Amino acid sequence: MLPDPDNVQSLIIARYRHRYRVVLLFQISDPVAAQGFLRKWVPDVNGGLQPPSSYQAGLDGAAGTPDPVYHFAFSWRGISKLLKARRSETQGLNPDAVANHLESFFTKEENAPHSRSVAASLDMKDVNAPENWWAEDTDPAGFHIALFCYFGDEAQKKQGLENIRREATESGLREWQFPSFEDKALSGKVPPGGILHFGFRDGVSKVEIDWEDADKPGKVNFRELLLGYPSDQYPLSPAEPGPWREFVRDGTYVNLAWLYQDVATFNRFLRENRGAAEPHSGAEDPEEWLAAKMMGRWRNGSALALHPEGKPASNDTSNKFGYQNDANGETTPLFSHIRVCNPRDQGLTSVNEARFPNGPPRLVRRGFSYGPPLQGEEDDGRDRGLVGVFACSRINEQFYTVVRWIQKTSFSDQFDSIKNGRKRQDMMFGFRKKHNAETTTHIPVTPEGSVPLKLPLADFIRYRGLAVFLAPSLKSLRYLAGD
């Protein structure tokens, strides 16, 4: 059985050209009234339920202002409340049976990112600890509904938020608000040229989905993203057929991350280490060269693996490359961000090969930048960073795994070729206070045999919130709405 792309919330399929993005988080007090709210807004999901193919246009060259697009996702508690609000079995789907089974495999409270055990496994401590997340008096256990909003312009956003908030209040929904954002919600926009706060172009890494289960080279099997299609190679929950599998089919888990970016510290790091980079940067500016080595891409998005000598005159956003010919990271450092998050054809340890027989875990990444830009090395006290949206079919095996790999690079035997290689971190996103972590760069330089650059790393990002949701199929979304 193959998935129906038109039954999928197109958040994971399409890259929208809407510039303004908002994530609203609600708590349900009256499930029946909440269903009324959903019935009002579900018709606007996927832009009025248009086929996902109509949203493939990129940001550049699009004409006119696109209509708003909305997507819904729910926590386990939110789904349970909505299911139990149904008074009778419909279309063979028993609400109590579904709710009870969801509890056995969906993210319960003890498996949520703010729980003590999960936070410890992800090394979320000190400033990154859950008690420092979100806003004052916010309870992430009360995040029942996440509404992802895409607007074409400022006026459209203002009107859309007014309408949503008015009807949410009338439906008894409590909105969790965040005062550091102008819209009092996680909100931002696609910056000019897609350039984010650290200066890198966004939207380069793309996941092409193999919808036909044809093992097509360069494409990711749909089971990496969609629930309800377990196989021998993808033992997804729920494994047993039944109404619960029907409910989650064509749905996906959505992991929401609020990340603060310390731009001043990053700029200072580049400037302070400019001299160390200069003998190796060739014709490139030393700071640009150092930034590229830490990311694995030049700031215009071109991969070091394809352009090792310098950034090309025009952006090359190709993702057709691997690391087999760069075993020691002489072109793309082993601890660069894109290589840690997606090691591609770099071998894994035997344990991880067994966990991921189909290759390293993949995620569909969406999100947006927030906060004003900052130039220079003096922090202005303003909040700025990224709101990341990461879709996958297995929270622990995909999303949580990548977060762990960022903090400790022990997942590949290739790291054994470097001193303390299994104790190092992603050079961009690691938490430097992790116990026993090697918190310096390891950037091989020419000529061959030269001592790699070893520069002291700082914390360039900080987690300000993390939550997980299920984005159901359109069919199941309408069922939750009471249709």
Q: What is the pLDDT of residues 361-407, one digit of tens each?
A: 999 999 899 999 999 999 999 999 999 999 999 999 999 999 999 99
Confidence (pLDDT) at 14: 82
Q: pTM of this prediction? A: 0.93
The proportion of the chain whose per-residue pLDDT surpasses 70, expressed as a percent, equals: 91
CA distance between the termini of the chain? 25
Confidence (pLDDT) at 54: 47
Ranking 25-34, 47-56, 178-187, 288-297 by mean pLDDT, the lowest is: 47-56
| pLDDT exceeds cutoff 80 at 113 | yes
| pLDDT exceeds cutoff 80 at 60 | no
Number of Cβ atoms within 10 Å of the Cβ of 451: 7
Contacts of 150 (CB under 8 A, 6+ apart): 16, 18, 20, 21, 66, 68, 69, 70
d(CA 73, CA 11): 11
Residue recorded with tokens 């989650």: 248
**What is the rounded average pLDDT for all residues in the chain?**
90
Confidence (pLDDT) at 344: 95
Confidence (pLDDT) at 53: 47
Confidence (pLDDT) at 59: 37
